[in-house]
Structures are given as structure tokens and as C-alpha cells.
Amino acid sequence: MRKGTICYVDQNSGHGIIKDENEQKIQFFLMELQEEIRLNDEISFDRAYSKRTCCNKNTFS
């Protein structure tokens, strides 16, 4: 399980960006979330790839 911080959220385009412990930026889609998130939330997540797109699908906890 990776850890990171929500550093960007765009409700209009439906995506956000996590900056992980290694300073890597990882894109995610808001429609795939099961919980509400906010800017600067510290999260744990698993990284997986969606068949629908080339971007990341993340599971938060």
C-alpha cells in the first residue's frame, strides 16, 4: 500500500493528482472513488491500471 497527499482536484474535469512519498505525481479519476476526498488529505492507496484508459485507478483507504 502506498501513501500520498491529494495535491490537486478538479471537479469539472473529474480528476485529481496524488503526490506520493517519492514525490511522484499520480492521476486518478473522481468517479472511481468510494469516499469523499479534499485537497491536502493524506491517504493510502493501491495503484492499478484501468482497461478503459491508460491512466491509474486507485483504491483509497
Encode pLDDT of 2-60 as tens digits.
Answer: 999 999 999 999 999 999 999 999 998 888 777 888 999 999 888 776 655 444 445 55
Residue span of the structural domain in which 30 resides: 2-60
Neighbours of 28 (CB within 10 A): 24
Looking at the structure of the chain, the number of domains it has is 1
Instruction: Provide the pLDDT for residue 32.
Output: 75
CATH code for the domain of 34: 2.40.50.140
> What pLDDT score was predicted for residue 45?
86
Residue pair 54/15 in contact by the 8 Å Cβ criterion: no
